[in-house]
Amino acid sequence: MSWRLHEGYVRTTTWDLDGESITLGLWGPGDVISSEHPALEPVELQCLTTVVVEHLVLSGEDERRYLRRERQMLAELHTIHRIRSGEQRLLALLSWIGRSFGQVNSHGCRLSLSELNLTHRALADLCGLTRVTVTKLLSRFRLEGRLISVSDSDLLIPSQP
């Protein structure tokens, strides 16, 4: 089955042999999600927030466009996951989430962790760190000015000069 996501956010995951969750994608409003012909099995679609979807029957062109988007997202997440430094990996993940689901302006990239329902635990799962490490790094990034708190859960990743 395939769906167009009108509202909300969905995460697709699979598991490794030790039962650890591996994120395959994050999907937001306007994205198409399909459970047809998964590249890996098992695959779980997890609603991060309340979602509104529309059932779709994909045409050949729509399916190719969906597969290109999925392949691009997998490549981006894989590239982030291969960054050795946990600090740089988390910053790269936050930047990717901001570019994909946030608001980009001349000041930088604004993202809302609460809108996406991304807790520190969820961020840790996404980038292969512990929740404690993510919490410490987020605090340090704020102190260093690499992240600016816009509200309780909104962050601004300043543009690089």
Spatial neighbors of 73 by CB under 8 A, at least 6 apart, are: 24, 25, 26
The reported pLDDT for the residue numbered 37 is: 58
CATH topology of domain 1-82: Jelly Rolls (2.60.120)
Give dist(CA 6, CA 53) in Å, integer.
6
Please name every residue paired with 148 in a beta bridge, in sequence order, or none if there are none. 156
- pTM of the shown model: 0.87
The reported pLDDT for the residue numbered 96 is: 94
CATH architecture of 85-161: Orthogonal Bundle (1.10)
Tokens 């309340």 locate to 50
Residue boundaries of the structural domains of the chain: 1-82, 85-161
Per-residue pLDDT of the chain (161 residues; tens, 9 = 90+): 789 999 999 998 888 888 888 888 899 999 998 766 566 678 888 999 999 999 988 888 888 888 888 889 989 999 999 999 999 999 999 999 999 999 988 889 999 999 999 999 999 989 889 999 999 999 999 999 999 998 877 899 998 76
